[in-house]
Amino acid sequence: MRRVIIILSILVFAVVSSQAQGFQNFLDKSEVHGSFEFDGAYYIADDAIGFSEEDWIKGQPFRFNGFGKIVYTNGGFSAGLRYEAYLPPLLGYDQDLEGQGFPNIWASYTHEKFSFTVGSFYEQFGNGLTLRSFEEWMLGYDNAINGARIVYEPIKGLRFKGIYGVQRYYWYKWEPNTRGIVKGLDGELDFNQVFRGMADSKVRFTFGLSAVSKYQVDDMKELNLPENVSNIGARFNMGIGKFNINTEYAWKVNDPSVLNNFIYKDGQAWMLSLTYSTKGFGFFGMFKRYDNVSTKSDRYVTNNALDVTFLPPNTEIHTYMLTSMYPYATQPNGEIGFQFQVNYKIPKKSKLGGKYGMGIAVNYSQVNDIARDSVAYVDAFGVPAEGIGQPGSKGWTSPFFKFGDPVFWQDLNIEIDKKFSKKLKGSLLYMYQTYNIEVLEGHPEDGPIVYANIAVLEMTYKFTSKHALRWELQGLWTEQDDGNWAAALLEYTISPNWFIAVFDQWNYGNPEKEFQNHYYNVSFGYTRRTTRLSINYGRQREGIVCVGGVCRVVPASNGFYFTLSTNF
């Protein structure tokens, strides 16, 4: 703590000294912003859902995750710090997070064409196929880079970035010859800003190139490991009227690691998305292919940490209780898939649209394994062999556009939303899902594939402009995994400050009668300006929480949960 205060004091002093207009001017320009969040839980043993004192609570019924972030700005200068505490972490979060301290401290200065940052920073090149460092509180995930960053913008529309550093790994201090060092360069050119002839063009075009390299010492006796691994990407974004196309391709040299079973294959990632939108109609399509692109700055790490790259998912993110029961987790070792969505608004005063019109959205996504053929290699004992994904081999060969077996995921959903009157509106959703639970959760005994039909009906009735009642009825029908589920929710809102909700998820179709549990819950919340308090009591079902294809497993639990957050 003393170190933080000294650093900040020096930085503040430096800025003070540099201000010619004097101290008052300095104070006038100063701004301080921040945010705080406290998520706590008091767990109560509940043997009916397998949440026992012995296996889960272990004498620590109270747990909390919290953070506080303060950012100071003064003109082109900014500095900040972030405090975190996991004492101990909530269940379902990586228990390596246990501890408290200041994981992130940084200072940044922007002057004319240059911007410099030292300390912890987040950065993304393009879509993230070569580099993305980010923080996601919901996942307990933070792969901030600790080092230096320079951004140079020689002319408007042309920007270069350079980064150098090591990534955050829970509370472990970086030491030589442990996790790797990441360095990268990125250039992006906006043709419409740089070339005068295109300034007024209907075609908007940007182009980018990035190169990221990681260094980790070769510390393995039996394999010759590459110490420097590069990942190079190219991308463009083009808008023509109502169309927009975005694509990025990245290629990586051999990067043997625990995650790919120490194969020496190069890696390729490609994503392509197309959007079209006009009044009342929208289309979104996406294709992606990932082949051996797991990239971490420590080749031995397998948990949710130290990712250098980010692989955007191409599946719809569902938020209802039962539609989000089986979320998709990106498979960096290989997947190929596509998604499209059509949104159409049936006009007002038409036969189907009625007085207020009606919205229809159809979404389909599918992800398969890539097709893989075996390769010849020489094993550890010098014996010629053949196989797929064997350590010390080139891994596999794969036809680029061929969809392999098995299917990982399919999701067809149709959602209709309609306003019936000034007071009543509702939506109806049907979804058919194919979920490879063997690959995505490692539970072959429950499948291997779950086929589920899901329906959701949601209605909202506004009593007055401030008082509203919302309810949901949901059903999930499957013969695999835990069988059928039903769910219901009632939520009463008094805008803009209060809400209270009760809901229940009932696993009435579980093949084992003793596991036909209710997961009941009651919650209320109070919001005042930027401060929000919510308190829940009830059972949480076992499941998976995913954000952007990155997931964590949540155990079944019972207890009180509360969140207090604010920002200024």
Partner 1 sequence: MKNLIISFLAVLVLGFSSCDVVEEPYFTEFAIPETEKKVLLEDYTGHLCVYCAGAAVEAEDLKELYGDNLVVIAVHAGFFAQPVPHDPYLFDDFRTDAGEEWNDYFNVKGNPVGMVNRIEYADGYLVPPDRWNSNIVDALEEQVEARLEIENSFDEETRTLTTTIKTRFLVGIADPVNLMVCITQDSIISGQKNLEPEIGDVPLIEEYVFMHMMRGSLNGNWGEMVTDDNPVQVNKEYTNTYKQVFPNDWIPKDCHVVAFVFHEQTKTVIQAEEAAVLNE
Which residue in the set 75, 226, 404, 483 belongs to the binding site for partner 1 (CB under 8 A)?
226
Residue 254 or 563: the one with the smaller Cβ distance to partner 1 is: 254
Q: Which residues of 141-172 are buried (b: 16+ CB within 10 A; e: fewer)?
A: bbbbbbbebebebeeebebebebebbbbbbee
Site for partner 1 in 231-270 (CB under 8 A): 231-232, 253-254, 256, 258, 262, 264
Closest CA to 268 of 129, 123, 131: 129
Which residue in the set 95, 421, 495, 567 belongs to the binding site for partner 1 (CB under 8 A)?
95
Residue 98 or 136: the one with the smaller Cβ distance to partner 1 is: 98
- Residue 220 interacting with partner 1 (CB under 8 A): yes
Site for partner 1 in 298-357 (CB under 8 A): 300, 302
Which region, judged by CB under 8 A, interacts with partner 1, from 216-224, 309-317, 451-459, 532-540? Answer: 216-224
CA 487 to chain centre: 26
Which residue in the set 117, 120, 206, 210 belongs to the binding site for partner 1 (CB under 8 A)?
210
In angstroms, what is the minimal distance from the CB of 436 to partner 1?
A: 13
Q: Do 389 and 375 meet the contact criterion of CB atoms below 8 Å apart?
A: no
Residue 27 or 378: the one with the smaller Cβ distance to partner 1 is: 378
- Distance CA(170)–CA(103), nearest Å, equals 8
Which one-letter DSSP state was computed for residue 455? E
In angstroms, what is the minimal distance from the CB of 459 to partner 1?
A: 42
Which residue in the set 28, 31, 47, 55 belongs to the binding site for partner 1 (CB under 8 A)?
55
- Distance CA(304)–CA(134), nearest Å, equals 12
- Residue 222 interacting with partner 1 (CB under 8 A): yes
- Residue 379 interacting with partner 1 (CB under 8 A): yes
Which residue in the set 223, 240, 317, 469 belongs to the binding site for partner 1 (CB under 8 A)?
223
Q: Do 312 and 549 meet the contact criterion of CB atoms below 8 Å apart?
A: yes
Listed in sequence order, the residues at least 6 apart from 292 whose beta carbon sits closer than 8 Å to its beta carbon are: 252, 255, 260, 263, 265, 266, 267, 268, 332, 333, 334, 395
- Distance CA(391)–CA(20), nearest Å, equals 63
Which region, judged by CB under 8 A, interacts with partner 1, from 4-12, 210-218, 324-332, 471-479? Answer: 210-218
In angstroms, what is the minimal distance from the CB of 184 to partner 1?
A: 8
Whether omega before 496 lies within 30 degrees of 0, making that bond cis, reads yes
Q: Do 559 and 43 meet the contact criterion of CB atoms below 8 Å apart?
A: yes
Strand partners, 459: 426, 471
Residue 331 or 474: the one with the smaller Cβ distance to partner 1 is: 331
Closest CA to 535 of 504, 498, 567, 506: 498
- Distance CA(374)–CA(396), nearest Å, equals 5
Residue 419 or 552: the one with the smaller Cβ distance to partner 1 is: 552
Strands (E), 224-280: 228-240, 243-252, 267-278
Which residue in the set 45, 87, 198, 211 belongs to the binding site for partner 1 (CB under 8 A)?
211
Which residue in the set 49, 144, 166, 212 belongs to the binding site for partner 1 (CB under 8 A)?
212
Whether omega before 448 lies within 30 degrees of 0, making that bond cis, reads yes
Which residue in the set 75, 282, 354, 392 belongs to the binding site for partner 1 (CB under 8 A)?
392
Residue 182 or 546: the one with the smaller Cβ distance to partner 1 is: 182
In angstroms, what is the minimal distance from the CB of 442 to partner 1?
A: 6
- Distance CA(527)–CA(566), nearest Å, equals 10
In angstroms, what is the minimal distance from the CB of 370 to partner 1?
A: 18
Tokens standing for residue 384: 């010629």
In angstroms, what is the minimal distance from the CB of 413 to partner 1?
A: 30
Residue 184 or 337: the one with the smaller Cβ distance to partner 1 is: 184
In angstroms, what is the minimal distance from the CB of 359 to partner 1?
A: 43
In angstroms, what is the minimal distance from the CB of 521 to partner 1?
A: 26
- Residue 189 interacting with partner 1 (CB under 8 A): yes
7 sits in which H/E element? helix 2-18
Which residue in the set 41, 49, 107, 229 belongs to the binding site for partner 1 (CB under 8 A)?
229
- Residue 397 interacting with partner 1 (CB under 8 A): no
- Residue 495 interacting with partner 1 (CB under 8 A): no
Residue 26 or 377: the one with the smaller Cβ distance to partner 1 is: 377
Alpha-carbon dihedral sign for residues 138, 142, 144, 146 = positive
- Distance CA(449)–CA(368), nearest Å, equals 13
Q: Which residues of 518-555 are buried (b: 16+ CB within 10 A; e: fewer)?
A: bbebebebeeeeeebebebbbbbbebbbbbbbbbbebe
Residue 207 or 520: the one with the smaller Cβ distance to partner 1 is: 207
Total site size for partner 1, rule CB under 8 A:
54
Measured CA to CA in angstroms, residue 238 lies from 39, 241, 245, 350 at distances of 42, 10, 5, 36
Site for partner 1 in 124-183 (CB under 8 A): 158, 160, 169, 172, 175, 178, 183
In angstroms, what is the minimal distance from the CB of 266 to partner 1?
A: 9
Strand, coil or helix: 55: helix
- Residue 427 interacting with partner 1 (CB under 8 A): no
Q: Which residues bind partner 1 (CB under 8 A)?
A: 55, 95-96, 158, 160, 169, 172, 175, 178, 183, 185-187, 189, 194, 209-213, 215, 219-232, 253-254, 256, 258, 262, 264, 300, 302, 377-380, 382, 392-393, 438, 442, 444-445
